[in-house]
Amino acid sequence: MGNKNFRLKISYDGTRYLGWEHQPGKDTIQGKIEMVLARMIGLEPNQEEFFGDNPPVDVIASGRTDAGVHAKAQVANAVLDTNLSAEEIRDYLNTYLPDDIAVTDVKEVSDRFHARYNAVGKTYQYTCFEGPVKPVFNRKYYTYLDSPVDVDAMQKAAEYLVGEHDFKSFCGNSHMKKSTVRVVDKIEIKRSKGYIYFTFHGTGFLQNMVRILVGTLLEVGAGRMSPSDMPGILEAKDRKVAGPTAPAKGLCLVKVDY
C-alpha cells in the first residue's frame, strides 16, 4: 500500500452539474468523482468531510469549469492509498459514475505532478449554430444564433484579442484580486455546415473569460460592435464594456497541456 499519485482524464456532459467544483449538497463533477474514489479506497464518506481542511480524497483538476460547461479531456490528479492498478481505478470509476461522466484514462504519475500548477496551456472550443432548423441530437452542446453572423469580422476582432493582455474586461469575477493578465495565443473561428466553432488556446483563462470573449465576438459578428472596438475594451479594464457572457452549454474544455 502507500500513497500513489494518479492522473485522470475526464470527459463530461456538464448540463446537469453545478460545475466542476464540489459544493455541499450540490451535483458537481468533482463531488461525484471524489465520492466514488472514497468508496473505492474503503471509506464511507459523508459529504461534509470533503469540505474540511483534510478531505478524505482530493481530486485536483487543471481548473474549474462553470455550471453547464462540458469537457472532452479535463485533467485531474488524486493521491490515493490503494493497491489497485491504474486500469482498475479507471474501471471502478466508470462502473459507479453516472453516464454523463467518464474517466477515459488513469495513469500513475510522479508525486510531483499537480494538475493545476503544472498545466501550461488549455484549449477550449465554443460551438454555435445558425440556420432555420436547430439540430436535435447535439442540442445540449451548442448555442443557437437567431441570425447569421459575420465570421470575417469576428476573426478580425479576435486578432486584437490574441496576445498578452490584461483581460479584466473579460473577467466574470468582479472581486478578482490577483493579476488579470493572461496570454491567449490563438483564437480561430470557423464556419462549417451551419456551425460556428471558436477555438481558444492560452496559458490560462479567467472566470467566464472564454464565454465573455465569445459573447463579445458575437456582438461583432452581429454588427453591434466593430473589430476596432477591441483595443478600447481591453484598455477599459471594465467588465461592463465587453459583450454579454455567452451561454455555458456551447463551451467545452478540449485539451490541457503539461
Q: According to the binding rule CB under 8 A, does residue 5 interact with its own copies?
A: no
Q: Is 133 in the site for its own copies (CB under 8 A)?
A: yes
Q: Which residues contact 163 (CB under 8 A, 6 or more apart)?
A: 183, 184, 185
Please list, in sequence order, all residues whose beta carbon lies within 8 angstroms of the beta carbon of residue 92, skipping any fewer than 6 positions away.
36, 40, 84
Q: Which is nearer to its own copies, 1 or 136 (CB)?
A: 136
Residue 172 is a binding residue for its own copies (CB under 8 A): no
Q: Is 16 in the site for its own copies (CB under 8 A)?
A: no
CB contact at 8 A, 237 and 100: no
Contact window for its own copies (CB under 8 A) among 119-127, 133-141, 171-179, 204-212: 133-141
Determine if 100 is a binding residue for its own copies (CB under 8 A).
yes
Does 12 bind its own copies (CB under 8 A)? Our answer is: yes
Q: How far is CA 134 from CA 130, 152, 220, in A?
A: 8, 23, 22
Choice from 5, 23, 47, 94 touching its own copies (CB under 8 A) = 94
Minimum Å distance from CB 244 to its own copies?
A: 21
Stretch that binds its own copies, among 47-55, 95-103, 178-186, 217-225 (CB under 8 A): 95-103
105 is catalytic: no
Indicate the residue among 1 and 133 with the shorter CB distance to its own copies.
133
Q: Cα 239 vs. chain centroid, distance in angstroms?
A: 20
Q: Which residues contact its own copies (rule: CB under 8 A)?
A: 11-13, 70, 87, 90-91, 94, 99-104, 132-139, 141
